[in-house]
C-alpha cells in the first residue's frame, strides 16, 4: 500500500496523460529537446498513456465492479464475491465473522483480486468500533477532544492505524468531521469531536496525518455535514439546514481537509439550496459537483475518491429505491464508489450498471476515470 500522503501528487502526475509532454534527452548541452506531440524522444521507448494498461486488465463489468464496496459475512462470502465479480472493496461490519480480521485470511482473499483490494472498516472509536475486541477500545471522538491534545491523538492514531494495517485492513471510514452539539447517543452525537468546526478540523487533521504516515486510507464524512441534520438516516430522511447556513460551520472541516489525502464520504442528506427534493446528497449531481469543484463552498477542487454512505441498510435511501437503483444513481451523479452492506445483490447491480453504460446514461469514460481514481487511492501501479 502506497502511503496515502503522496497520493495527491500521484494523481496530479497521472491526470495529464492526454496532454503533449516535453521530454528531456541527453544532448551534450544539458538542454531539453522537445519531441513531437504523441511521440517519444529519440531512444526513449514508447509508453502507453497513464492508466491504459491498468484499465486493459478489466472487462467492462469488472471495471464497474471496481466501483463497489460490499459488506461481507466472513471468509467464504468475501472469497466468492472477489473471485466471481472482482469487486473493488469489501467491508467488515458488526455482522462480519471477527475471525476474518486476520492477515493470513485477508491476504488469501486479496490474492484473488486482479487489482489491489480495499479491505474497509468503520473504526472511529467509542460506539462505532468494529475492531475493539482485536486492537482494544478507545473513547469517542468527543471525549478524545476533551481529554487529549491533538498531538497526543496523532501519536495514538499512529499506533492504532498500524494495528489495523497489521490485520490486513487498508481503509478506515474515519474520521467523522461532522460538527455537532447533539446529545452523545444521537446519530452523530459523541462521534463528533466538537461543535466548534476549528476543533473538528484540528483533531480530524491529526487523525488523517497519522493514517497517511502509516499508509492506511482515511475517509472524511458525512459531506456536506450531518451534525445539524434533522434525524437519523438509518431510519429515515434527514434534512439539514440550508446550504447557506452550512458554510460557516458544517462545511468548514471539509473545506480545510478536502486535499489532505483522505477520501470523502457523502451522506444521505437532503440539503435545501443544494439537492433536489427527495434526492439526497449521496445520489445528487449537485452535491457531487459542489465537492468536485469546490467553488460553491470556497474550497479547492477535489479529485480524490468519493464514497457513498451505506446504500443498502439506511432508510434514507432504501425507502426511496432499490439497491440497484441507488448504486446506479450514485455513480451517475458522480460518486466513485458505492458502498452497501451485503453481497447478495452484486450480480443484479452489475447487470443494471452494464445496461446503464450501454445506454450512455453512465458514460464509459466516467467509469474509467473513477476506476483510475480508486486505483490511485489504493496505490495501484499505473505506469505514470
The residues annotated as belonging to the active site are 234, 309
Q: Maximum distance among all alpha carbons in the chain?
A: 71
DSSP symbol at 181: -
DSSP symbol at 239: B
- Three-class SS state of 51: coil
Residue 354: C-alpha distances to residues 60, 83, 310, 360, 364 (Å): 8, 19, 21, 10, 10
Residue 373: C-alpha distances to residues 40, 109, 265, 289 (Å): 26, 22, 14, 16
11, HSE (Cβ side, Cα atoms, 13 Å): 25
Asked if residue 201 lies in contact with residue 252, where contact means CB atoms within 8 angstroms, the answer is: yes
Grid cell, residue 265, equals 464520504
Helices (H) and strands (E) in the chain, counts: 16, 10
Query: Of 302, 324, 299, which is closest to residue 373 (Cα–Cα)?
Result: 302
CB atoms within 10 A of CB 179: 26
Asked if residue 124 lies in contact with residue 175, where contact means CB atoms within 8 angstroms, the answer is: yes
- Three-class SS state of 263: strand
Handedness of CA 272, 275, 276, 278 (dihedral sign): negative
Query: Of 120, 142, 123, which is closest to residue 133 (Cα–Cα)?
Result: 123
Amino acid at each position: 500500500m502506497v502511503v496515502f500522503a503522496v497520493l495527491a501528487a500521484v494523481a496530479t502526475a497521472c491526470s495529464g496523460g492526454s496532454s503533449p509532454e516535453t521530454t528531456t534527452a541527453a544532448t551534450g548541452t544539458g538542454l531539453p529537446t522537445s519531441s513531437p506531440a504523441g511521440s517519444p524522444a529519440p531512444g526513449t521507448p514508447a509508453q502507453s498513456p497513464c492508466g491504459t494498461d491498468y484499465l486493459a486488465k478489466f472487462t467492462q463489468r469488472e471495471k464497474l465492479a471496481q466501483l463497489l464496496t460490499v459488506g461481507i459475512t466472513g471468509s467464504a462470502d468475501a472469497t466468492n464475491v472477489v473471485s466471481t465479480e472482482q469487486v473493488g472493496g469489501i467491508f467488515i461490519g458488526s455482522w462480519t465473522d471477527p475471525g476474518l480480521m486476520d492477515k493470513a485470511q485477508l491476504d488469501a482473499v486479496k490474492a484473488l483480486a486482479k487489482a489491489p483490494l480495499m479491505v474497509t472498516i468503520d473504526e472511529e472509536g467509542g460506539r462505532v468500533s468494529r475492531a475493539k475486541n482485536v486492537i482494544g477500545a478507545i473513547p469517542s471522538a468527543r471525549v478524545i477532544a476533551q481529554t487529549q491534545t491533538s498531538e497526543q491523538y496523532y501519536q495514538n492514531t499512529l499506533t492504532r492505524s498500524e494495528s489495523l494495517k497489521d490485520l490486513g485492513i487498508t481503509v478506515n471510514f474515519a474520521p467523522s468531521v461532522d460538527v455537532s452539539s447533539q446529545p452523545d447517543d444521537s446519530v452523530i452525537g459523541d462521534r463528533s469531536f466538537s461543535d466548534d468546526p476549528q476543533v473538528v478540523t484540528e483533531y480530524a487533521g491529526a487523525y488523517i496525518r497519522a493514517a497517511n504516515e502509516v499508509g492506511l486510507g482515511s475517509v472524511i464524512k458525512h459531506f456536506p455535514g450531518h451534525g445539524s441534520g434533522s434525524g437519523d438516516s438509518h431510519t429515515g430522511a434527514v434534512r439539514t439546514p440550508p446550504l447557506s447556513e452550512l458554510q460557516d460551520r458544517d462545511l468548514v472541516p471539509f473545506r480545510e481537509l478536502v486535499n489532505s489525502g483522505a477520501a470523502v464520504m457523502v451522506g444521505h442528506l437532503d440539503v435545501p439550496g443544494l439537492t433536489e427534493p427527495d434526492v439526497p446528497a449521496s445520489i445528487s449531481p449537485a452535491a457531487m459537483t459542489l465537492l468536485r469543484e469546490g467553488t460553491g463552498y470556497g474550497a479547492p477542487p477535489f479529485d480524490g475518491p468519493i464514497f457513498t454512505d451505506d446504500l443498502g441498510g439506511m432508510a434514507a435511501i432504501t425507502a426511496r429505491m432499490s439497491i440497484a437503483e441507488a448504486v446506479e444513481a450514485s455513480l451517475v451523479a458522480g460518486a466513485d464508489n458505492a458502498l452497501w452492506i451485503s453481497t447478495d445483490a452484486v450480480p443484479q447491480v452489475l447487470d443494471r450498471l452494464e445496461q446503464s453504460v450501454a445506454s450512455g446514461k453512465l458514460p464509459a469514460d466516467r467509469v474509467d476515470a473513477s476506476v483510475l481514481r480508486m486505483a490511485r487511492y489504493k496505490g495501484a501501479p499505473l505506469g505514470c
